[in-house]
């Protein structure tokens, strides 16, 4: 008998996270600046910038991880003295 895994709700988690983050950015911008339209513009820019950053960060993570591991091993096994 094959066991069934529950459906992954990672997509829902990502959407909820983005909605909460946009709200936080909007509320922060509104309290600091006191202007709804400016706060909305900041939230919009953050939405686009953060999404693009995450996409490219995730796309290039394997390369970054490889470099970080190389640097760590080089530092860990450096010659002392």
Q: What percent of the chain has pLDDT over 90?
A: 54
Give me the pLDDT at residue 81, please: 54
The pLDDT mean for the chain works out to: 88
**pLDDT tens digits, one per residue of 29-62:** 999 999 999 999 999 999 999 989 988 988 898 8
Q: In angstroms, rounded to a whole number, what is the distance separating the alpha carbons of residues 37 and 31?
A: 12
Tell me if 1 is assigned to some domain. Answer: no
Give me the pLDDT at residue 78, please: 83
Q: How many domains are contained in the chain? A: 1
> Which residue, chain included where needed, has tokens 């202007």?
35
pTM of the model: 0.66
Q: Are 29 and 45 in contact (CB under 8 A)?
A: no
Tell me if 4 is assigned to some domain. Answer: no
Q: Give the number of C-alpha atoms closer than 13 A to the C-alpha of residue 37, restricted to the C-beta side.
A: 0
Tell me if 45 is assigned to some domain. Answer: yes
Tell me if 2 is assigned to some domain. Answer: no
Instruction: Print the domain residue range for 62.
Output: 10-76
Q: Which structure tokens are listed for 48?
A: 């686009």
């Amino acid at each position: 008998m094959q066991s069934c895994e529950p459906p992954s709700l990672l997509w829902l988690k990502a959407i909820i996270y983005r909605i909460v983050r946009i709200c936080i950015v909007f509320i922060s911008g509104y309290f600091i600046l006191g202007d709804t339209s400016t706060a909305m513009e900041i939230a919009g820019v953050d939405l686009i910038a953060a999404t693009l950053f995450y996409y490219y960060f995730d796309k290039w993570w394997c390369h970054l991880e490889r470099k970080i591991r190389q640097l760590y091993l080089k530092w860990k096994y450096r010659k002392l003295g």
